Chain A
Amino acid sequence: MLTKRVIPCMDCKDGRVVKGVNFVNLRDAGDPIELARAYDLQKADEVIFLDICATSDDRATTVDLASRASEQLHLPYCVGGGFRSVADIRTMIAAGADKVSVNSAAVKNPKLISEAARAFGTQAILVAIDAKKVRGGFNKWEVYVSGGRTATGIDVIEWAREAAKRGAGEILLTSMDRDGSRDGFDCALTRAVARAVDIPVIASGGVGTIEHFAEGIIDGEADAVLAASVFHFGELSVRQVKEYMAKQGIPVRL
């Protein structure tokens, strides 16, 4: 039986892991490869490295990171942030990334998804969506780009469907309302997207307690749950989380 995945996410800047709370206030959390190896031992199902700056200097550092990861990790990993073209994606895949996640560039140019999926296979292309609840709208969310700074007016459900149709292999769905809040996933959002597309959905944003992970799967109907700071600062281990999920009847790899 296919298990539900637990995915530690590492926001990286200058080759180090940082974690923003509400996309600001960066704190240093260590070397990304060292952390990823620790997560592998704790039975993380995969890891994501997000380049949160994606300036050209930082790009070279991230390509180097992907290459070191392919030498040292025995689990799948995704690299995200700053991809603008198929050529950018090719560089990262050639460096060893199993998957890449695209966000702002795909919103600006949806063809990027189809072209990248055609070149590298759907399984290699995650579409990351930053979603914010529309004020006064019942279960309506809007797509934001540029690290959550710019509203697009695009409906999240419509965009998720479009991304899937164009060949996205998975949706990485972040609730901006919950990110950094420690109030738990936005399960209404996650469930709405999970039901709208027939590709896997990774829930992200808001984990504060061990119960939240199970909620994302059971209430949010997500295929995978992602968290960052609760893991990086050692509040919870991936193993603890998976043992808890198993007790709730969720299939996990232990």
Chain B
Amino acid sequence: MIAVVDYKKGNLKSVERGLVAAGADARITDNPDVIGAAHGIVLPGVGAFADTASTMESLGQMEVVRERVLAGVPFLGICLGMHLMFEEGTETHPGDTSGGAHRGLGILPGVVDAMPRVGEDGRNYKIPHVGWNSIEPVRGSDFNCELLAGVKPGEYFYFTHSYAAPATEATVAIASHSIAIPSVVRYRDVAFGVQFHPEKSSDAGTCVLRNFVRIVKEA
């Protein structure tokens, strides 16, 4: 069973349906015991970093997700769910630029921060980064990542976000906007984060979800 972590921020049905369509027994749950017993964990992407991190703490989800990922249970963080894999995030809520940082799961090092509106090329970029962008391998000519099996470099996925994960050794794929956005990250072999929304990315997204379901079944 794959647990889709419900942190009370909105609709998770698309993610659940996407996983079911990919052959999984997926269940939306806010119960730490159910999350702890799952064979795979999906942390969806709705809301803001600070709000979500504190809700997850108060529901007792943070500790169990961290423990299970460190123990090698397959994990997929989507958008904000990917951001939460990192140590800290500066996103409180729209319009708040107080700059305080909030603690995430801390599976990966670094701080999730707002994307710059001016790129290194000096051009202005629209933020939020909304729409379909192509992903490219960060090193070499291939992704070399189980989650992206069958996905060709240059494939398009649907993004919608204003904050980005830090560039680290964990980055597998990037998308270009005002910065090179880490778009797929990996922790060890079976924990992944994706900045895009596979559940909204048509056939390419279905392929990613199917890969994740296979990884869960083979783990």
Which residues of A come within 8 Å of B, CB atoms? 1-5, 40, 43, 45-46, 70-71, 74-76, 93-98, 114, 117-118, 120-123, 165-167, 169-170, 198-200, 223-224, 253
Interface secondary structure of A, over-half rule? loop
**B122 touches A (CB below 8 Å):** no
The 8 Å CB contact of B132, one of A45, A117, A198, is A45
Q: Interface digits, B49-85 against A, CB 8 Å rule (1 contact, 0 not)?
A: 0000000000000000000000000000000000000
Interface residues of B in 121-176 (CB under 8 A from A): 124, 126-134, 156, 158-162, 175-176
Q: Which residue of B lies closest to A99 (CB)?
A: B160
Contact, CB under 8 Å: A122 / B128: yes
Contact, CB under 8 Å: A74 / B202: yes
**B214 touches A (CB below 8 Å):** no
How many Å from the CB of B134 to the closest CB on chain A? Answer: 6
**B29 touches A (CB below 8 Å):** no
Contact, CB under 8 Å: A123 / B130: yes
Can you list the 8 inter-chain pairs with the closest CB atoms, starting with the nearest? A167-B94, A123-B160, A117-B94, A253-B156, A253-B132, A76-B200, A2-B133, A118-B93
Contact, CB under 8 Å: B201 / A74: yes
Number of interface residues of B (CB under 8 A): 40
How many Å from the CB of B206 to the closest CB on chain A? Answer: 7
Contact, CB under 8 Å: B201 / A117: no
For B46, B134, B177, B202, the residue with the greatest tally of chain A CB atoms inside 10 Å of its CB is B202
How many Å from the CB of A238 to the closest CB on chain B? Answer: 12
The 8 Å CB contact of A170, one of B18, B93, B130, is B130
For B124, B128, B177, the residue with the greatest tally of chain A CB atoms inside 10 Å of its CB is B128
Sample of 11 more A-B contacts, CB < 8 Å, known A2-B175, A45-B158, A117-B95: A1-B176, A2-B131, A3-B131, A40-B202, A70-B17, A71-B17, A75-B158, A95-B11, A98-B200, A123-B162, A199-B128
Q: A74-B206, A114-B94 are in contact. Are A122 and B11 (CB under 8 A)?
A: no
Q: List 5 A-B contacts (CB under 8 A).
A: A2-B175, A76-B160, A96-B13, A121-B48, A170-B128
Residues on B with C-beta less than 8 A from A1 are: 133-134, 176
Give Cα A178 to B14, complex, Å. 36
The 8 Å CB contact of A74, one of B131, B159, B200, is B200
Give Cα A76 to B46, complex, Å. 14
Contact, CB under 8 Å: A118 / B206: no
Give Cα A134 to B175, complex, Å. 41
